[in-house]
Amino acid sequence: FTRSHEALDQALFDQRLAAADALRQALYPGSKHYRLCYGESDGLPGLVVDRYGDQLVVEIMSLGIDLRRELVVKALADSLQPACIYERSDSYSRKLEGLPPRIGVLAGELNPEAVIEENGLKFAVDLEHGQKTGWFFDQRDNRLALRRHVKGRTVLDAFCHTGGFALNAAAGGAKVVLGLDVSEPAVARARQNAALNGQESVCTFEQADLMQALKHKVEAGELYDVVVLDPPAFAKNKKSVEPALAGYKEINLRAMRLLPPGGVLVSCSCSYHIEDELFRVMLVDAARDAGRQLQLLEFRHQAQDHPVLLAARETQYLKCAVMRVV
């Protein structure tokens, strides 16, 4: 979009994508792994570009960008000379726009098994079949922030995906880390990532239904010093907000009952339709029903490579509350 009469031509895409990349290089000097373009926030609504070293993964979610796919590819190819530009336009957002899914190589040759570096750790990423574009860059800063709460402590990472929070906990000096996820492929990848970072003795990963697993742990009287909750989006639209809040409350209530006094809960929601205040109220209700009193240490959002455009509220979607039981 533009406030002036600019042509939606190659020059515009060249300039905006170059500016977007320059911002990320300033935010994460020397890194080659980040969200390069974040839609409206970078002046290109409906376009997401994630950088995995010398490979770029593109997601197109609007008709305007869909019709100008070639301009995007040329701008990225000319500025970064990537080995591959791969499209993963298969999200729910694209369906809402009435656009069919599109997956495939746009330029170069894909190496689906990428290894990224984040916060001094290495992670193997599946660019073809992994969730979203393969990795959740939006939690980068929150994963790093977890480290200051875990030294010498036991950690439960629920909805652990491929081990992002769990391995940052290990890097922060956690004594024992247990990661749980419903997806067996994600658990297998998490184990691979633990081995990649030499943390097999600290981190254990298991496949589990999280609702049932949390319930059983509470019933068994288990306790953890730190619990991380990073579930998938429960609210896909406004109609699903009420049942989503009930789901968030239930998992948070169970997590709170696993914490002793002084324990820390890191609770996340990536649902845009669950606004900050709704999330806070849900946490208060869960704490009351769990019989816990909590201090809010931090209320965080997505990483800096997902900048928030103040005029577009939907660009701020991720919530990450860091709380301590008193």
**What angle (nearest 5°) sits at the alpha carbon of residue 262, between those of residues 296 and 180?**
85
Q: Report yes or no: 206 and 197 within 8 Å, Cβ to Cβ.
A: no
- Which pLDDT tens digit goes with each residue over 24-66? 999 999 999 999 999 999 999 999 999 999 999 999 999 999 9
Nearest-5° angle of CA 117, CA 144, CA 320? 125
Q: Which residues pair with 84 in a beta bridge?
A: 55, 108
270 catalytic, yes or no?
yes
Provide φ and ψ at 16, rounded to 5°: -70, -40
Residue-range domains of the chain with CATH: 10-111 (3.30.750.80), 116-325 (3.40.50.150)
Q: Which of 97, 111, 79, 119 is nearest to 39 (CA)?
A: 97
Q: Could you list the beta-strand ranges (E) of the chain.
A: 33-38, 47-52, 55-60, 84-89, 102-108, 113-118, 121-126, 154-158, 176-181, 203-207, 226-229, 264-269, 294-300, 319-325
Write down the pLDDT at residue 2. Answer: 63
What is the model's pLDDT at position 81? 97
pLDDT along the chain (326 residues), means of 10: 77 97 97 98 97 98 96 98 97 87 97 96 95 93 98 98 98 98 96 98 97 97 98 84 93 98 98 93 97 97 97 94 98
Q: Starting from the edge strand earliest in sequence, which strands make up the sheet with 102-108, in order?
A: 33-38, 47-52, 55-60, 84-89, 102-108
